[in-house]
Amino acid sequence: MRLVVVALAVILVGCGDDAAGGDPTALSVTVVAEGFDGPTQIGHDGRGGYVLAELNGGEGDGTGRVLHLESIDAEPSVLVDGLLTPTGVAVDGDLLWIMERRTLSVASLDDPSDRRIVLDDLAFNGRSEGTISAVDGGGILFDTSGRRDGGDLADGSGRLFFLAGPDADPEEFAVGFKHAYAHAPLGDVRWLVTEVSDGRLDDVRPPDELTIVERGDDFGYPRCIGDRVPVAETGGTAAECVTGPPSLALFEAQATPTGVVVAPWDDETALVALWVRGEIVAVPVEPGDEPHDPAVVVDTIERPQHLLVDGDRVLVTDHESGRILALEAG
């Protein structure tokens, strides 16, 4: 696998009137590594390097891997292989955490041969869970994707969990999601979380969302969708749904927001990767009277999946092309 650094054309983009500042921003998009097979999440190893999960084949082939890169343009080494749809990877201290289709495991970063399963048979939507976020101060945040059981969620599904360590019990952090796929800290107690929906409720496809989440929040799915909209077929009511947190931004159905960060060059703006649309959009991080309209800032990446703040830049995994790209302010 040969990795290269290739500078692409500088893309001039306008954040639109609703984005932070409302002024055009110049973003450069640079290929910093390539040659991967279906990369999903990338994370820091805490030592100046990176860990990267990739499918390394089809989604259900069981050939997924976690790779280690001592620098972003270094030749990768294989830490763990034989994984089933690895969508999440994170390092917390000296622990390497991996999320597969519905299994959370942990290993020593220095010797991943000791990997053990921490949680298995996690509730899920029939396809996969999402990413893993290391929490400042220790522990991780992860989600179980949601599955309906009549007018309610199936037991254990559609939830964000905090896990303090391998021998701790998972703690419910927030509930009422279809799929809280990606997360980014917003200060000490709030998190930016993307909501990936699917299917139909009241014969419409629910929109995808960007939300702000605090411990104990209930977003109401499947009785409430979008920006606190009640669903008649599941028994949702306006009185019930209005008590839930509002949406920070709405995306069209099936846009599939798989990555989110706060832009390192503008702490008032979030960047969100829309996998299906092949776009990265900007959203103000503070709520308005109504959900913000996302502004497209990059539309040249085939399948942007995960976003990672890396100093003054943002790394993007492109699931389709097998590349890692860097976004930087002009």
The per-residue pLDDT for 150 is 87
Cα 198 from Cα 120, distance rounded (Å):
24
The per-residue pLDDT for 248 is 98
H helix intervals, the chain: 238-241
Show Cβ contacts of residue 49 under 8 Å, excluding neighbours closer than 6 positions: 68, 69, 70, 71, 74
Q: Which long-range contacts (CB under 8 A, 24 or more apart) does 109-114 make?
A: 109/45, 109/51, 109/79, 112/66, 112/79, 112/80
Domain residue extents for the chain: 28-329
Tell me how many degrees the CA angle 116-122-123 measures, rounded to the nearest 5.
Answer: 175
Q: Got the DSSP string for 244-273?
A: SPPEEEEE-TT--EEEEEE-TT-TTEEEEE
Please say if the pLDDT value at position 1 is more than 50: no
Please say if the pLDDT value at position 204 is more than 60: yes
Please say if the pLDDT value at position 16 is more than 80: no
Cα 175 from Cα 160, distance rounded (Å):
6
Please say if the pLDDT value at position 11 is more than 60: no
Cα 265 from Cα 258, distance rounded (Å):
21
Mean pLDDT of the chain, nearest integer: 92
Written as one letter, the residue type at 61 is: D
Q: Got the DSSP string for 28-89?
A: EEEEEE---SSEEEEEE-SSS-EEEEE-SS-TTSS-EEEEEESSTTSPPEEEEEEESS--EE
CB atoms closer than 10 angstroms to residue 113? 8
What percent of the chain is modeled with pLDDT above 90? 90
Structure tokens at 197: 């929906």
Instruction: With CA atoms as reference, report the closest residue to 57 among 78, 81, 34, 37.
Output: 37
Residue with tokens 């949406």: 247
Cα 309 from Cα 192, distance rounded (Å):
14
pLDDT level of residue 7 (50, 70, 90 thresholds): very low
pLDDT level of residue 25 (50, 70, 90 thresholds): low
Residue with tokens 């990176």: 50
Q: Which CATH superfamily is domain 28-329 in?
A: TolB, C-terminal domain (2.120.10.30)
Count of alpha carbons within 13 Å of 293, Cβ hemisphere only?
Answer: 6
Q: Assess contact for 304 and 279: CB atoms under 8 A.
A: yes
Q: pLDDT for 102-133, tens place per residue?
A: 999 999 999 999 999 999 999 999 889 999 99
Cα 255 from Cα 84, distance rounded (Å):
24
- Cα-flanking dihedrals φ and ψ of residue 269, to 5°? -130, 130
The per-residue pLDDT for 8 is 46
The per-residue pLDDT for 4 is 40
The per-residue pLDDT for 330 is 78
- Cα-flanking dihedrals φ and ψ of residue 176, to 5°? 85, 35
Q: Write the CA distances from 108 to 68, 82, 120, 208, integer angstroms.
A: 13, 17, 19, 36
Cα 291 from Cα 226, distance rounded (Å):
10
Q: pLDDT for 243-286, tens place per residue?
A: 999 999 999 999 999 999 999 999 999 999 999 999 999 999 99
Q: pLDDT for 50-99, tens place per residue?
A: 999 999 999 989 999 999 999 999 999 999 999 999 999 999 999 999 99
Please say if the pLDDT value at position 145 is more than 50: yes
For residues 147-154, average pLDDT: 92
Q: pLDDT for 311-326, tens place per residue?
A: 999 999 999 999 999 9
